[in-house]
Amino acid sequence: MKLAQFAASITVLVAPAFLACDDGTGPNLPTGTETAVVVNSIDLSITVFPTDTPTKTLAIGLAPTGSPVSVAARNNLVVVPMGFLAAAAIIDLRTGMVTTVPLPENSGATGAAFLNDSIVYVGNPNLNTVSRINVQSGTHEAEIDVGIYPQAIAVTVERILVMNAELDENFQPAREGVVSVIDPSSNSVVGSFSLGGFNPSAAEFRDGLLYIVNSGRFGMGDGSLSVVNPSTPDEIEHHVGFGEFPGDIAFDDAGDAYVSSFFYGIAVWDAAAESFVHPPDDPLVIGGHTTASGLGFDADGRLYSLAPGDCVSPGVVVRAEADLSFDREIEVGVCPIAIAFTHVQGP
């Protein structure tokens, strides 16, 4: 059954459970410190912790329903598209406030990226559009037609790059992925180009290029990596061999790309040599975990891998030091699916 669009933004104050904050002033996250934000899809929550004191975790509920699988963070604000709930949750990490911004009905809200401190773009895959949201006012400003099933977004200084999965009515890729290019000054599509792989799902910038993970067709083991020059814009390289349904990507300081998969864990790709350090059939294993729903690096080069487990009991974040030696497990919510990093600013 379709969910009705919210009539207005709903603001909720979530009771904080972080650092024994009793004075009602909010989560009291330390300012200027790097903070990790993990989306727990089944819990409908985020888990937040400073990277220098990861044992001090905070859980913030997002909404009574939804299916969140993506996140964007910038300074004090976190944006979580809510999936089948046609809305985006905006969380202020200084106060613990959650503001729910309604999106067009049947949005399927997935994928988000900040343009600046005020504007974030969110994908509406069920509608083949993206929405422009002002996070300061909590308002939906515009809806822009793009390709079929947009589910990931990347931002350059002058362009918004929207990754369209091109799925059919059975949610299978009908063709290779397509990237729509939006000019944010006019909120209009100014171009598009095709990728060499199916079902683009995540992207990361490195050395002026955009690396896009193509999850592929379920059961086909045809995950791949597209390299895009955002200045052209066009795909300049396409690499196969990324196995069954890769889903996330992050780079270490040396320039190696780490790619996560529920099915094999973590593959490592040397972008300069264009070859695997750890292919899917010989994945990087940290702390004995052989599956990963997402990953990322903090500013000190430590790797955080999301281990969802059975998605019934709480999952964990597996942290490795910069040399990839196991550091610790951090318990989070049920079915951790995405991670982002930000710095909380002072008042």
Q: What is the reported pLDDT for 13? A: 39
Q: What is the reported pLDDT for 32? A: 81
Distance between first and last Cα of the chain: 42
pLDDT at residue 322 greater than cutoff 80: yes
pLDDT at residue 15 greater than cutoff 70: no
Mean pLDDT, the chain, integer: 93
pLDDT at residue 3 greater than cutoff 90: no
Q: What is the reported pLDDT for 179? A: 99
pLDDT above 90 coverage of the chain, percent: 89
Backbone CA torsion sign across 3, 103, 125, 63:
negative
Q: Which tokens in the block code for residue 256?
A: 């190696």
Fold of 10-343: Methylamine Dehydrogenase; Chain H (2.130.10)
List, in order, residues 6 or more apart from 309 with CB less than 8 Å away.
315, 316
Q: pTM for this structure? A: 0.92
Calculate the alpha carbon distances from 52 to 24, 43, 90, 212, 273 in Å.
24, 25, 24, 30, 33
Q: Which tokens in the block code for residue 158?
A: 């002058």
Q: What is the reported pLDDT for 28? A: 66
Q: What is the reported pLDDT for 1? A: 28
Q: Which of 98, 100, 97, 76 is nearest to 25 (CA)?
A: 97
pLDDT above 70 coverage of the chain, percent: 91
Q: Which tens digit of pLDDT belongs to each residue from 223-268?
A: 999 999 999 999 999 999 999 999 999 999 999 999 999 999 999 9
Q: What is the reported pLDDT for 346? A: 72
